[in-house]
Each structure stands twice: as C-alpha cells, then as structure tokens.
Copies of this chain bind each other. A is one copy, B any other.
Amino acid sequence: MARRSDHSREELREMALTAAEKIVVEQGYEGLSARKVAAQIGYTVGTLYLVFENIDDLILQINARTLDRLHARMTQPHANSIDPRDYLVQLGQAYIRFADEDPHRWAMVFEHRLAEDRSLPAWYQEKVARMFAMVEQGLQPLAGRHSQDDVLQASRALWGGVHGICILALSDNLGVAGVDSVQQLTESLIRNYLKGFTGD
C-alpha cells in the first residue's frame, strides 16, 4: 500500500499524466487503460479517480499537453522577415512533422470523442483556437482587399485542409508513402490555395 501523503495531489497528477503519455506514445490510444496507468505509478485504480474525474478527463489533460507541444512547434517558424506564403507553408509542415514524429500522441487528440452531448471545456477550446489564430495571423499580410471574415474563413479552410491531408496520410488512405510526399501535398495545397486567395 502506497503510504499516505507520499505524494501530493499535484505530484500524483503529474506522475499519472507522464505515465499515461508514455503508454500512449508506445502503444497508442487503444493501449491506454486506467489500471495500466495506476500500475505504472505504483498506485491502484481507485487513486486515479481522486485526481481525475474519469478516463475522459485524463485523456483530455494529455491532449491539452499535446496541443501545447504542437503550439510550441508551430511557434518556431517566424512570421517576420519571410514571405507570408513561405511562413504558412512552414506552419503546415511543422504540423505534418509533429504528427509524423509522434503519431500516437497526435492521433489521440482527434480519435478521442467525448459523449455525444458533452462539449469540450472552454480552456481546451482556447488551445485549439490559439492554433487557428496563428494561421489567421499568417494570412493577414495577404488579405489585400478581403474582409476580416474572408480571412477567418480562409484560415479555417486552409487549416482544415492541412489537417485532412495529415489524417489521410497517417491512415494510409492517400496512397502516399513517406513524410516527404505528405509535405509536398501540404505545400501544394497551401500554395495553390493562396494563389487563389490573393488572386495572382
């Protein structure tokens, strides 16, 4: 029996999340289970429920971390001093690279569906919004005479597009092998879309 107060709630939470992430990275979404996480950190399943509302909650916390990692990756390209088109391509490619390097972690963000009725908490939606905002800002210099609404719509279409390519590629539904081809597809999508958007 793990001693009482060996670890604070916060420590427990941290240990559990780290252990769970390890399982996900190695075995994917399907490989994750409350009992496995508990065993990894030397506690029993009941304890997990003192720290997390339920398994969905735990998954959401991991996905939040994944979104943070992804965001960090996408902050590496710098908007200043390069062509806006190149910047957006770099954003897209950072996204693809992230998904390729850590497919299990990435996939869980999109494979995890919460119960039909329940919706994602605001703080989580915020993290998603933050990524769309990056695209929106990257698109801004190319706005020309487009309205703000147009830019918003374009950023969504564009990012949805990149995401779609990423999904299909990772599930082998694109008949495309290797990251390089996927990167090319992404670049094709972005550059052609932008050509259409800016109208030249």
Task: A107-B113, A113-B171, A167-B167 are known; give 20 further A-B pairs, CB within 8 A.
Answer: A29-B113, A111-B113, A120-B172, A153-B188, A154-B188, A156-B168, A156-B174, A156-B175, A157-B186, A157-B189, A159-B164, A159-B168, A161-B165, A161-B193, A163-B168, A164-B165, A164-B167, A192-B193, A195-B196, A195-B199
Question: How far is A165 from B155 in the complex, measured between Cα atoms in Å?
Answer: 11
B residues near A55, Cβ cutoff 8 Å: none
- Closest CB in chain B relative to A166 CB, distance in Å: 8
- Closest CB in chain B relative to A164 CB, distance in Å: 2
Chief secondary structure at chain A's binding surface: helix
Question: How far is A161 from B185 in the complex, measured between Cα atoms in Å?
Answer: 10
- A residues 108-128 near B (Cβ < 8 Å) are 110-111, 113, 116, 119-120, 128
A167 near B163 with CB under 8 A, answer: yes
Question: How far is A176 from B32 in the complex, measured between Cα atoms in Å?
Answer: 31
A185 near B153 with CB under 8 A, answer: yes
Number of copies: 2
Q: A184 within 8 Å of B by Cβ?
A: yes
Q: A160 within 8 Å of B by Cβ?
A: yes
Q: Which 7 pairs from chain A and chain B are nearest by CB?
A: A164-B164, A192-B196, A161-B161, A195-B196, A160-B165, A163-B164, A157-B189
- Closest CB in chain B relative to A25 CB, distance in Å: 13
